[in-house]
Each structure stands twice: as structure tokens, then as C-alpha cells.
Structure 1
Amino acid sequence: MRLHTFLIAVFLLAIQSATAQKKQISLEDIWKNGTFRAERLQSIHSMANGQEYAVQNFDRATRTGSVDIYSYDTGKKVRTAVSSADIEGLDYFISYEFSDDEKQVLLATKLQSIFRRSTLGEYYVWNTLSRKLTKVSDDLIQEPTFSPDGKKIAYGKDNNLFVFDIASGATQQLTTDGKKNSIINGITDWVYEEEFGFVRAFDWSADSKKIAYIRFDESEVPEFSMDVYGNKLYQTQTVFKYPKAGEPNAKVSLRLHNLDTGDSRKAKDVEINLGDNAGYYIPRISWSKDSNVLSVQTLNRHQDTLKLSLFNASTYQTTLAVLETDKAYVDVTDNLTFLDDNSFIWTSEKDGWNHIYHHNADGSLKNQVTSGNWEVTGYYGYDAGTKRIFYQSSENGSINRGVYAIGLNGKKKQALADKEGTNSADFSANYSNFIHTYSNTTTPYRFTLNSAKDGKQIRVIKDNQALKDLYAGYDISPKEFFEIDVNGVSLNAYMIKPTDFDPSKKYPMFMTQYSGPGSQSVANKWDTSNDYWFHMLAQNDYIVVCVDPRGTGLKGRDFKKVTQKELGKYEVQDQIAAAKELSKRAYIDEDRTGIWGWSYGGFMASNCLFQGADTFEMAIAVAPVTSWRFYDTIYTERYMQTPQENASGYDNNSPMSHVSKLEGDFLLVHGSADDNVHVQNATRLVESLVQANKQFDYFNYPDKNHGIYGGNTRLHLFTMMTDFIKEKL
């Protein structure tokens, strides 16, 4: 008996010794040294032959950039399309784009960021046959785009549209009324860029003779100003149009410019009259395979009615193709795909889950391609040769993703990559193969070349084995996925426990979440930088938990849209209920519960602490929305309608309405130059807390935007938050 006890003791000591030898994660590992940086694949362009792909490379020794062509099958370099070493007058380039015939490359230099997606830059055209370099404009321009025939480039500059003829070097100005903070032609305004996710608001017709574009009249949109302090004696001020909820948006109109005016009956530039198919918003335009048929998507202000219309440039008539309505809102996507017969592929939630549909050229429904209680999460494209559609979905579990193929007729579905975890694909131009990316919570990104015919692996490209070996040397316990039942629903969740977890001990619980509409935080994929921070907290004897409440995605339309007109109500109820339910577990100390979040997650963390004073002892809110009255029209009204229509929904769920209930410790953080969630949100919450005589901590990062990064900023932020957690929880 004594010998048996002695052996157990020796065994336990051996385990403790092995654990002690493992490294501890530091904040410097995460935010300074890049210790856990994973190898990624560079952005690739599949060449038209489907057998080769292009990658942009940079040679540090010679300080030259190149676009090199590689074989899919072997991964070996075949040739170089362009190299700055061979071009006199061009020392470097930042990005590239091929013309449709791949004989020319558009090269970008001197890129300057404007907002999240928009940039200004200097651009050149390199002809791979003549080896001639042509500068598009002496000025910095936006969104230059080849015409389909490769002869011209359209671009935006100073809120106007221009067309550059590559052969002659002549430039034609298409619009003349562009004016800062007033009229924009062919480039989106701030709110369209941020919420509809695109910048280029013009499109070439297939015959290269016409350009359709959206004109924005933002003269009545209120201005927002933002001080940037910099390091000079006086600050500068950025002023831009920002429509807050309930305020006027830019008035949009759709215009057509005819570059070929051989037909005297056709005006050179004309506004397209959409008639009954007009909308308050125009979130998408694109020409079909027919050079006379332009597709236009319009939305009403509530965003619960979307119309897909087809405008005929020969007859100037518009017909309604698809009408999508929803009691809450209709999502705008980039999945519209026209086939050779001008029938088209479309995605919709109309059966309660996001699925793929095939419509005839006139818009009538041909058939529903996919169906089931799962979501299509990514549309990859259609192969006319095999008549198959390729897509990603959650049919292998709502926290997982798989890659599938299915016939256009909805038959012969085939799993190409559905191993538990997150699978994604990048298909070659002819859909003969795809680059498969796989990860799960314990496996870093693995890149392989796979056959599109059956999904079989052809070769390994990168496997991040070095990172996996490094990861194994650290004191890390994996995420434990589970479901938690609260408020009559089952919610996805994960938990990270200390590696030396002792069920007889009581641990403080730190909850992380985002909780925004349609989002997902509980996912079976490889770690982000924040995840390493959570593992570091677990090393310090905190149990980290993440719960996706009602309103998040991947569980169907009704689960996602239950929060309509009440952002912050059901999500807060679910987070509080989940915390209470988890606190019943013997190993969780119910008197030491914290929560944090960024942006929407910061809105949630504030509300949870204020409204859940009997549940949460501390919270950290980074760059939070504190009243939806302060946020932009498109995002906010999609879920809340306007403040004039839904004042109670805005005010009852604002953290500012609940400051009097604060009992725990609260840390509020914001960047002073946040053009997205304005620092106004923080200052107004600060004033509310002060007037309620509530003590709290507040930190402002000067001249930092919504991401709060640059230099040591992230390290400083996460050091401050870690110290706050250790002190208060």
C-alpha cells in the first residue's frame, strides 16, 4: 500500500515537472516578438489556363519586386511576368492586377490609405509583350480598372471619373461636378465603403463601350470632424460626411456613360430611370455577360426589401428580376453570378437558412440548389464544364466549415474537404483544382493542393509544422467546445482551463465575446493573437469562456434576427444567464466573474457589467458603441430602424441608461481618431458615469483609430488590460 502511494506521488511529481518545463506565454510573445506568427500563403492570382498561378514576391537583397508565375502541380516557378529590376523608372510596386487577356499588368505604387478599404495611389501599366511601361496619371488616383478589352483604364480622381487610353496616352474626363464633401462620382462615400463593403462604384460593360456608375450627392449629409494631434504645435482636423442613425444619407443615382456614341439617339451620359425598382440605397451594380444588360440591386431604407433589377442599355427599360423581403433585413452579398445564357446564381435566406438558388435570365426561379438546416458560408463559383457549383458551408457542424461541390440542378453533392475544423478553398480559374486551407483549434493552417474532381490531395504546400512544434512547447490547454442551454435556447461556447486544472479549486472566470449580428466567435479554427492572450490568462489561473448569444450567426435566420429592433437586449440576457449557469459549476468562483469586448463586444461588456451587477464583478470595454444614436445609418438602421421610429430600442439598451447600476470595476478604452466608432461614444459614457458619481478607469489613445495599433500600442493596451484583470478579478 505504501509502495503504491509512493509510485503515485512519483508519477504526479513527474507530471508537474513536465508541466514546469513548458514555456509560459508572455505579452511580448504575442504583441512584439511575433513568436506565434503562422506561415501564410501570399495572395495568388489564378492564370486563365488554370494550370498556373501568379504571386507577388520581393527580393530583400536586391530590393526588387516581381510577379512570378508558378505551376499548380509542382509549385515550381515557370517564369516572371514582371520585375521592377527590368523596368527603368519603377523601383518598386505594392500590388498588381492583370488585364483579362493577361498581356498587361497594372502596378500600384505610393499607396495612401483613406479609410478601411479605400486608397490613393500612383499606377503604371506594364505590357508583358512589348515590355513597355505606361503611367496612368501623374496624380494619385483611386480604383483604376482595365476595360474588358484591355485598351483603357477607368479610375476615380477628385470625386470624378476618368478614362485613360493606354495606346494613345489620352485621358478623357467623364464627369465634372465632383466636389469634396458634396458630389462623388463612381467611388463610394464613407458609409457605403464601411457597411456595404465596396469602394469602386463603377463597372465596365462586356463590350468595353459603356460604364455604369453610382453618383453620390452627400451635400445634405451632416459632417463629422475629428482632431488629429500629431507632434506639431497645432492639431489638424479631419472633416468628412458621416450619416448617423436617423440622419440624411447621400442621395444616390445610377448613371450610364456611353464611350461609343455612334448612335445619335443615345446620350453620352444619362441618368438611368429605375422607376418602381428604384431604392434608397444602391449597394451593388454589375454588368451581365450580355453587354447591354446591367444588374442593379436596390434597398429601401429599412433594408427589409431588396430588388434585383435588370436594365437594358438598348431599350433603356428596367425589369424586376428578384424581389427579396424579410421581416427584419435582407443581407447584401457578392454571390450574384451570371452564366453564359444569362441565367444567374443567387443566395438567399428565404427558407430560413442561407442557400444557393438558380434563376432564369428573366429572374424566375429555376431551382433551389442547396437546402438543409445549415448555412452556405462561402460561394466559390460555377464550373460551366462540369456544371458544378463550389461552396463552403456549416453542414459539418455550426462551429466548423466544409468545402463542397454540387450540380447546378441540386444533385450529386460531394464533400471535397469536410474534416472537423475549418476548411476553405481557392479554386483555379478552370476549376480543375483548389488550394485547400485547413485548421482547427489545435492545428495551425495547413495548405495543400487538392483535385476539384474528388477533393483528393495532390501535394502539401505549407503545413506550419514548425509552429505546431513550437506551440507544443508552451503551457497551453486546448479550447473545450460545448453547448450551454439558457433562456430556452442552446448556445455554442468554449472554455479554456489552466493546464494544471484542479476541479476541487475555485477559479475566477473571464468571459470574452463579440456578440454582433450574424457574427461567430466560437469557431473550430486556429488561434488569433487574442486567443494567445486568453491562453496566457489561463496560465495565470483564470478560466476563459466564450459564448455566442442569440443574434449571432450560423444557426439560421430566426436565431440571428431575433434581436431586430433590440440590439443589446437578448444578447445581454444570454451572457448574464450563461455566466450564472456556468457559476454553478463547483470549480468556478461566482464572486469573481469578468467580461470584455471590443467595438460591439465593448458595447456588450459595458451593458453586462451595468445590468448584471449581481453577476459580473468587472468589465473592460474597448472602442465601444455606447448609444446606437451615434453610429452610422446603414449598419444601425438595418437592425434598429431609425431612432425616430424606435426610440425605446435605442435608449433602453444603451449602456448610458444603466450607469446607475454599476457596482463592479470598469475599464473604458478608446482611440481619439476612431473614424468608425467615434470617441464621442466614450466621452458621453464618461459624462454619464461621472454624473452618476460612479468611479471607473478610462484610457484614451491619441490619434489611434478603431484598431488601436502601431508601434508598442497593442503591447501597451494588453499590458494595461492584463494588469487590470489581475488586480480586479
Structure 2
Amino acid sequence: MNKLYKLTTLLLMMLLTVSTVNAQKKTLTLEDAIVKRWSQFYPEHITVQWRPDSKGYYIINEENRIVEVNAKKGTKNIILTLGGLKGSHNDLLNISRLPRYKWITKNKFTFNLENKIYVTDVTTKKSEQTTSWNLEGKHQDVTSDRKQAAYTIDNNLYISIGNEEIQLTNEPNKEIVFGQTVHRNEFGVNKGTYWSPKGTALAFYRNDQTIVTDYPLVDLSTRPATANPIKYPMAGQKSEEVTLKVYNTVSKKTIDIKTEGPKEQYLTNVAWSPNEKSVFIGILNRDQNHLALNEYNAETGEFVKTLFEEKDSKYLSLTHPMEFLPNSSDKFIWRTEKDGFEHVYLYSTDGKQLAQITKGDWVVMDVLGFDRKNQNIFVLGTDNNGMDRQVYRANIKSQKVTKITKESGVYSGVKYDASSNLLFANFTNLTTPNKEVIFDTNGKVIKTILDAKDPLADYKVSPIELNTITAADGKTVLNTRMIKPSNFDATKKYPVIMYVYGGPGVQLLTNRWQGGASLWMQKAAQDGYIIYTVESRGSENRGKDFEQATHLHLGDAEIADQLKGVDSLKTLSYVDANKLAIHGWSFGGFMTTSLMTKAAGTFKVGVAGGPVMDWGLYEIMYTERYMSTPQKNPKGYEKSLLLDKTPLLEGKLLIIHGLIDDVVVPQHSFLFLQNCVSNGVQVDFFTYPGHPHNVRGKDRVHLMKKVLMYIDDNINR
């Protein structure tokens, strides 16, 4: 009897302790979840750099000093203090902290202050201002020696050499743009200028948009409101006409690269030869299924030869330019998914494929570098059904590939140092907020620099559950993520918010801390919701077949896969199948509206943000890759169209759209509203007048309150 009494007392004390601990946990507010997501609630991290021809890594410590740490021995050496940097140049006397910097040689690093570039020599403790650019300048691109900068003012291109400004173009027609990104940032194009390796020449785009239609956005900040049109080429219409030019800083002359073929083709993957004599361009046809890697003479612009061509029955995803091997002028690597997954291939400049360096049912995400003898290449690639990011070593001669990292999770910010033959990486998984480590080329951890604490440890948050289901095709594995309420009780039934994207080029779920989930999801779970996401076919980083499953019929396989997720939810005793809500933005808005109409009755509430309602109204470069043109694929466009599906709508649907959305233009939502009115269908709508495609900053709190309040108000009706 006495033993039973003691045992009961002990159990009561344990339950009381657990209850007390839970009661002491802080409540996560929506404001904190959004505004403090990348500050207070972002795991601690340290910026680490390698220094050329050195055995150490470099950090800025709490005393504002650049510190060298021997990676293997752990010994430390102060390289430069804040005071030392201040005294290195008169312009730097008033700086309050060490700036972000980058090593460019063994003894020199560089940094920017406003529109000026400085190089500091740590041996002489002197800094030099190497160049600057006009304060009006945008899209800055700087040479590797930091002595020249290219930049744009309005639609024209300039360079500075030292403090001398040279205007390279003088085009009065604002619809012809120089030196800026083209093709609406598709095909891996993210800038408009390309310096040669030694900085003696600059390749740059000329983008003729005179034939592209204007789209009328409205600026409400003026009185009265004024038109602020943008160039927006819609699927099947006329596209921009892009060419490439080269300016030689020695001869002071500009030449045209003589690319032939249709004017509306795409000029991608621009690269220079190490000797600066050639420019290479990937010429991609408008159908996006045929690419020719061409070489051009950089002095005359003449076509030299086609190194090779790539074709695909559906479309090509070639987004990385050729990369020459260190100290080689005739061997380069090329990334392609022609075997089904993106891998690294070795080529010679005569166009001959020498080897496939990496292979396997995983995707190369990044090339990290070569060892000193060019015997091995290190890459970052996927693993674990696309959920992990691991480091691989591949021998260039034997093509033997070894995964050198050991722990399941996501390695990121990986930097390989050929001098020490070591790597640095951030590591995270569901239980590791952030760990920063130095490891050797066999994966052995040499030093743990940081093991960050959980910034949410004191808050009522739920563990992330990653799982899998089978796709609607009956064979493909799909990744899922679930967040249960923080006070979860398996005997109760809970409403569900399905968060969806489902489109190409995006991966929502990874095996990282919080599983890639936004913190507003933890707030919603704290308020009693289950948050559930299915990564459907068509999304990124799962290989070509997985991604191309939606070709010519966007919205078919994705909807079927999301409904498989619903079927899985309905098997769970703690899910209230009568209280399902769905929310998504952009392609996720298209998916939300599709599911609220084509699968009417499945979801009680939907909130669609920035939704595509008609793929014929979306941009050429993205849409035609996945849907071809409306002229060639009328049935696909008709089936995916949501404007005529309004009579099918059941449940409560809120559509949200930024009034100056230049990605999914507002016409999508307004035409859907017009069809709702014509068909007597009730729908709710909200706009953010000052915001483009995404609502950011403090207004994002308002947005998520609007989303969650709408679901709260309607889920229990």
C-alpha cells in the first residue's frame, strides 16, 4: 500500500512538472512569427571565409576583429582590428564596424561602402579605393580585381575605370534596354553584364522590347492616379528580341556578337574563355527544347562553331554556364539532366564529351570546386528523396562518386578550400537549428565552430513531422509535412489548413530545421490547426521525369496528388474531414482556386493569393516551357482555365491580389471576379494597393491576419 502511494505521488509530481513547464512556455504571436522570423527566431550563425593559399578560416569576432583560426590546430591570430581598418584610409575613419568583406588574394580583401570599392592589404595595413560608380547607378557588376565597375542608369550602360565614368550606350528609346537581365530572369539569367576574366572586355545584353505589349499598372500614390505600364509578353504573343554586345576596354570599341536565327530565341549561359578570345552562348529556341552551345570570336563577333547541341521531347532546363577547369583553356564542365537528373559532365572545347563525372538518382545543386591537381570535384547534391543536401566527391578520371557527408539533413553555404583541402558548411535538420563545421574530404569533422541553440525553445511550438505518400499515378513517392497543434490530443478532432504551391521551380519541403515551414504555421498550429503540405509532382529537385509529369497540362497531376494528400488526412482519426481549408500563393493560388472549383466540396474554405487564372495571360518564358503556346496547345490551356469554372465553386473563397503585381498581373483575379458576377457566384476579394506579387515588410502581418481570420470565421460555419 505504501509503495502504491509513493508511486502515485511520484506520477502526480511528474505530471505537475510537465504541466508547469508547458504553462511556462511563451505564446508565439503572429507579429513575432513574421517580423522576427529572420532576427530573433533565426538560428545563430557565424560568417566564415577561406583565405587563398592559407591553412585557416576567418571570422569577425565579437570585438570587431578579423581573426584567423587554424582549421586543424585551433590556434588563433588577429589579422586586423576595427581601429586598424579605420586608420588604413581617410575615408574609413567614421565606420562603426567591420564591413562584409571578401578575400581576393592571400593578403588582400575587398569590401563596398555605398558606391565605392576598397581593397585592403593586411600586410601593409593600407586600404585603396579602387573604383566607384555613379550614385544613380544600378545593376552593378565589378571586375575580379575590383578596379572596374559596370552599371546602368535608366536604360543605358556605363562603366567606371578608377573614378572615370564611360557611357557605353546612348539610347533615347526607353524600350531598348542595355546591361540588364533579360528573358524575365528565366534560364538562369540573373544579370545583364559579363566581365571577361582579366577585365579587358565586357559582354552585355541589348534587349529590344519595342514589340512587346504594354501592361497598364496604376500608381495610386499620385493625384490623380497615373499609368505605370510595364513590358509584359504573354504566352503566344510577341516576345523581346535580345542580342549580345562586347565592349573592349583597350580598343574602346563595341562589337555585336553575330547570333543568327529567329529574333525571339533566348541567349543563355553566357561565358568567357580563360584567354578572353571567345564568348560562349547557349542559344535556346523559343520552344525551349533545343539548345546549341555556340562559340563566337570576342574581337569580331563572328560565329566560330557549335560545340554541341541538346534536345528534349518536352523542354530543357539548362541554367548554368560552362565552367573551365582551373588552369585549363580547353576543358570545361557542363551541367545537364539529359540522363534524367542534373549531373556534371566533362567536355573539351572541340565539343567532345570526355566523361560524365557524377551520376545517380540525385540532383547536383552546386559545384563547390576542384582540388589542386584537378583530380576531384566537389558538389552539393540531393539525397533522401530530394529532402537532404549532401556533399559529394567525384574523381574526374575514374568518375567514382562518394557521398562524404554522413548525417541526414541539409548542408548549405558549403565552401571548399583547395589550399587546406577542407570544407566548411552549415548543417541543419529537424532537430538541429544550425551547426557550423569544418570537415575533410572524407567527411570527418575537424572542428565544430558553432552549435546554435533552438531560438524557439521557450515557445509553444510543435515538432515537424515529415512523411511520404504515394502519388495519384500509384508509384511515385511524394513528400509531406505536418504540424500538429502544440497541445495535441489524439482523441480530439482538429481542422486542417493545407498549404500548397505545387508548381515548377519550387521545393517547399526539406529536412531542415522547421522543415522549411514558415513560422505563421506554428502560430496557426498553436491556435488549434493541423498544417499539412504535399509536395506534388511537377515541383523541383526530384529529377526530370518528376518535374515534367505536368508538361502541357498544368493543374492535372498536381490536383490529383493534392487530393491523395486529402485521402491520407481522412484516414487519421484526429482530423476533422468536414473542416478542411486550403491556402497558397502564386502557383499555389492557382492550385487553391483549382481545388475549390474542380474538386468542389473537398475544402470548406480557400484563400488564393496572386493566383494564375488563365495561363494565356501569364508570361511567355515560364508558361511556354510547361504549356507550349495557346496556339499549339489549345486543349491544355482550355482545361487549365479557371475563368469558366466559377459555377463549380463551393465553400468560401477569398482571393487576394497586389494591385501592382508585375508577375501575375491583376487581370487574372479581376476576370475571375467578373465571371463570378456573371454567373451569380459569391466570392470574397481583397487587394493590397501598394504591393507587387508578394506582400512583404510590416504589411505581411496584415496579410496573414487576413488569411487566418478568414479561415477562422468560415471553418466552423
Cα deviation for residue 709 of structure 1 reads: 1.8
Cα deviation for residue 439 of structure 1 reads: 1.0
Deviates more, 1:456-465 or 1:607-616: 456-465
Alpha carbons of structure 1 residues 40 and 434: separation in structure 2 relative to 1, 3 Å = farther
SS at match of 1:200: coil
Q: Distance in 2 between matches of 1:318 and 1:187?
A: 26
Q: Indicate which of 588, 604, 611 corresponds to 1:617.
A: 604
Q: CA RMSD in A?
A: 3.4
Aligned to 1:116: none
Give the 5 Å matches for 1:354-433. 354-385=342-373, 387-430=375-418, 432-433=421-422
Aligned to 2:447: 459
Deviates more, 1:672-681 or 1:602-611: 672-681
SS at match of 1:604: helix
Cα deviation for residue 172 of structure 1 reads: 3.1
Alpha carbons of structure 1 residues 553 and 149: separation in structure 2 relative to 1, 3 Å = closer
SS at match of 2:709: helix
Q: Distance in 2 between matches of 1:715 and 1:529?
A: 19
Give the 5 Å matches for 1:523-534. 523-527=510-514, 530-534=517-521
Q: Distance in 2 between matches of 1:70 and 1:686?
A: 61
One-letter amino acid of the counterpart of residue 52, structure 2: A
Give the conservation status (yes or no) of the 8 Å contact 2:344–2:364.
Answer: yes
Q: Distance in 1 between matches of 2:104 and 2:656?
A: 45
One-letter amino acid of the counterpart of residue 173, structure 1: Q
Aligned to 1:78: 79
Alpha carbons of structure 1 residues 519 and 505: separation in structure 2 relative to 1, 3 Å = same
Give the 5 Å matches for 1:281-292. 281-292=266-277
Q: Indicate which of 456, 481, 486 corresponds to 1:494.
A: 481
Q: Indicate which of 275, 289, 292 corresponds to 1:307.
A: 292
Cα deviation for residue 365 of structure 1 reads: 0.7
Residues 226-268 of structure 1, C-alpha deviations (whole Å, 9 max, x = no match): 22323x644454333222222222211122333334xxxxx93
Give the 5 Å matches for 1:193-592. 194-230=185-221, 233-261=223-251, 268-275=253-260, 280-313=265-298, 316-334=302-320, 336-339=322-325, 340-385=328-373, 387-430=375-418, 432-451=421-440, 453-465=441-453, 467=455, 470-471=456-457, 473-488=459-474, 489-527=476-514, 530-592=517-579
Cα deviation for residue 279 of structure 1 reads: 7.3
Give the conservation status (yes or no) of the 8 Å contact 1:391–1:405.
Answer: yes
Residues 576-633 of structure 1, C-alpha deviations (whole Å, 9 max, x = no match): 2321343133332221111111111111111111111131111111122222222211
Q: Indicate which of 713, 718, 723 corresponds to 2:704.
A: 718
Is structure 2 residue 112 aligned with structure 1 residue 107?
Answer: yes
Cα deviation for residue 48 of structure 1 reads: 2.7
Give the conservation status (yes or no) of the 8 Å contact 2:498–2:582.
Answer: yes
Cα deviation for residue 300 of structure 1 reads: 0.6
Q: Distance in 1 between matches of 2:58 and 2:220?
A: 42
Is structure 2 residue 27 aligned with structure 1 residue 37?
Answer: no
SS at match of 1:286: strand
Residues 176-215 of structure 1, C-alpha deviations (whole Å, 9 max, x = no match): 33642x22222224x43x3345443232333433322221
Give the conservation status (yes or no) of the 8 Å contact 2:101–2:109.
Answer: no
Alpha carbons of structure 1 residues 43 and 649: separation in structure 2 relative to 1, 3 Å = farther
SS at match of 2:644: helix
Q: Distance in 2 between matches of 1:67 and 1:699?
A: 50
Q: Indicate which of 176, 187, 194 corresponds to 2:170.
A: 176
Alpha carbons of structure 1 residues 103 and 245: separation in structure 2 relative to 1, 3 Å = same
One-letter amino acid of the counterpart of residue 311, structure 1: Y
Deviates more, 1:69-78 or 1:558-567: 69-78
Residues 399-438 of structure 1, C-alpha deviations (whole Å, 9 max, x = no match): 2221111111354433332411112242145362222111
Q: Distance in 2 between matches of 1:19 and 1:290?
A: 65
TM-score (norm 1): 0.86
Residues 546-592 of structure 1, C-alpha deviations (whole Å, 9 max, x = no match): 11111123332112101111111211122123213431333322211
Is structure 2 residue 10 aligned with structure 1 residue 24?
Answer: no
Q: Distance in 2 between matches of 1:407 and 1:571?
A: 38
Q: Distance in 1 between matches of 2:494 and 2:695?
A: 31
* Equivalent pairs, count: 696
SS at match of 2:597: helix
Percent identity for Structure 1 against Structure 2: 29
Q: Indicate which of 646, 650, 671 corresponds to 2:637.
A: 650
Residues 659-680 of structure 1, C-alpha deviations (whole Å, 9 max, x = no match): 1111111121122222222222
Alpha carbons of structure 1 residues 108 and 319: separation in structure 2 relative to 1, 3 Å = farther
Deviates more, 1:545-554 or 1:221-230: 221-230
Give the conservation status (yes or no) of the 8 Å contact 2:362–2:383.
Answer: yes
SS at match of 2:645: helix
Alpha carbons of structure 1 residues 537 and 586: separation in structure 2 relative to 1, 3 Å = same
Cα deviation for residue 484 of structure 1 reads: 3.5
Give the conservation status (yes or no) of the 8 Å contact 1:178–1:184.
Answer: no
Cα deviation for residue 97 of structure 1 reads: 6.4
Q: Distance in 2 between matches of 1:126 and 1:535?
A: 45
Aligned to 1:62: none
Alpha carbons of structure 1 residues 565 and 104: separation in structure 2 relative to 1, 3 Å = same
One-letter amino acid of the counterpart of residue 112, structure 2: L
Is structure 2 residue 658 aligned with structure 1 residue 695?
Answer: no
Residues 477-513 of structure 1, C-alpha deviations (whole Å, 9 max, x = no match): 3324232353423322122223444444332222112
Alpha carbons of structure 1 residues 57 and 655: separation in structure 2 relative to 1, 3 Å = farther
Q: Distance in 1 between matches of 2:208 and 2:654?
A: 41
Give the conservation status (yes or no) of the 8 Å contact 1:403–1:424.
Answer: no
Give the conservation status (yes or no) of the 8 Å contact 2:49–2:58.
Answer: yes
SS at match of 1:577: helix
Q: Distance in 1 between matches of 2:563 and 2:354?
A: 46
Give the conservation status (yes or no) of the 8 Å contact 1:279–1:299.
Answer: no
5+ residue gaps, structure 2, are none
Q: Distance in 1 between matches of 2:164 and 2:575?
A: 72
Give the conservation status (yes or no) of the 8 Å contact 2:65–2:78.
Answer: no
Aligned to 1:264: none
Q: Distance in 1 between matches of 2:684 and 2:10?
A: 48
One-letter amino acid of the counterpart of residue 259, structure 2: L
Alpha carbons of structure 1 residues 615 and 665: separation in structure 2 relative to 1, 3 Å = same
Give the conservation status (yes or no) of the 8 Å contact 1:299–1:307.
Answer: yes
Q: Distance in 1 between matches of 2:658 and 2:501?
A: 19
One-letter amino acid of the counterpart of residue 325, structure 1: K
Q: Distance in 1 between matches of 2:593 and 2:77?
A: 53
5+ residue gaps, structure 1, are 60-65, 110-121, 262-266
Cα deviation for residue 135 of structure 1 reads: 5.7
Q: Indicate which of 158, 163, 166 corresponds to 1:162.
A: 158
One-letter amino acid of the counterpart of residue 681, structure 2: K
Q: Distance in 1 between matches of 2:254 and 2:396?
A: 39
Alpha carbons of structure 1 residues 178 and 400: separation in structure 2 relative to 1, 3 Å = farther
Cα deviation for residue 528 of structure 1 reads: 7.5
SS at match of 1:476: coil
Alpha carbons of structure 1 residues 69 and 293: separation in structure 2 relative to 1, 3 Å = farther
SS at match of 1:303: coil
SS at match of 1:471: coil
Q: Distance in 1 between matches of 2:611 and 2:273?
A: 41
